[in-house]
Amino acid sequence: MDLGISGRKAIVCAASKGLGRASAMSLGREGVELVINSRTAADLEATAADIRKDSGATVTTVACDITTAEGQAKVLAACPNPDILVNNAGGPPPGDFRDWDRDDWIAAVDANMLTPIFLIKATVDGMIERKFGRIVNITSASVKSPIEILGLSNGARAGLTGFVAGLARKTVRHNVTINGLLPGPFDTDRLRTNIRAAAEKAGRDYDELFAERASANPAGRVGTAYEFGEACAFLCGAHAGFMTGQNLVMDGGAFNSSQ
Ligand code: NAP
């Protein structure tokens, strides 16, 4: 399917690895002009080269921390009028809420709630004026099914989701949609790091624990970043204009619900 977005401009945040990278790759294949960001310049350049090789897309890199005001300003300077915005950042660390102080909470809220909100604020009115906009917030399946040790993530992402629920219903009249894409387990550095930590804590073998987690999923496996990127690109496509304010779980069916 041609998603009808060739020539559109996109900002994809936190895109040198994992789900952000895959989303940028898929958008590149649709002929979208990309501005991609992450902190580690070498990884970001390598990803940009891979995308150019894969699809021939035009890719601009902005190496910075997207959770800072300076980082956001740099990315917006490289692409002041995006048609597509994919919000993403690293997730907060796991732990016990008794150990988290105000600074820990502020960092989580900054990264996973306020950063996407400020990037939306900076770009949504231009999208409304131009009568086209697609905003995808990469959050987590934990928005619908909280994971106890990820309290910082549960809290901050719930705040973003609540805010967007109202705005998404105001912008859709102008062909500007805002949706959440909620990953369950996907085979990325983040998942591998989490499983490695869990294996070390339990004195278990990493490969064995990974296989156990994958087999416990209804799909019998974890997701691939490619699958995630393609779903993200669809939400950014011209044909997805009647979908807004949704929180779409991609988890192989692990979230057990009839609705
Ligand atoms: P990943 O493979 O670890 O990749 C994270 C990417 O984000 C890297 O490119 C990283 O590059 C960049 N990044 C991190 N912090 C950043 C910052 N402050 N500013 C700019 N770039 C930043 O992670 P992932 O699995 O793709 O996860 C993406 C998001 O989905 C995370 O919020 C994660 O919590 C969430 N999630 C993932 C899963 C899963 O199974 N994979 C499940 C649920 C939720 P640099 O480090 O160089 O900046």
pLDDT digits (tens, 9 = 90+) for 192-229: 998 998 899 899 999 999 999 999 999 999 999 999 99
Which atom from ligand 1 is nearest to the alpha carbon of 67?
A: 18
Any atom of ligand 1 within 6 Å of the Cβ of 37: yes
How many Å lie between the centroid of ligand 1 and the Cα of residue 26?
17
- What pTM value is reported for the model? 0.98
pLDDT of residue 199: 92
pLDDT digits (tens, 9 = 90+) for 63-97: 999 999 999 999 999 999 999 999 999 999 989 99
Percent of the chain clearing pLDDT 90 (strictly above): 94
pLDDT of residue 43: 98
* Nearest alpha-carbon partner for 135 in 92, 170, 91: 170
pLDDT digits (tens, 9 = 90+) for 158-172: 999 999 999 999 999
Q: How many residues does the chain have?
A: 259
pLDDT of residue 259: 79
How far CA 146 is from CA of 66, 134, 153, in Å, comes to 25, 26, 9
| Residue-averaged pLDDT of the chain | 97
Which atom from ligand 1 is nearest to the alpha carbon of 63?
A: 20
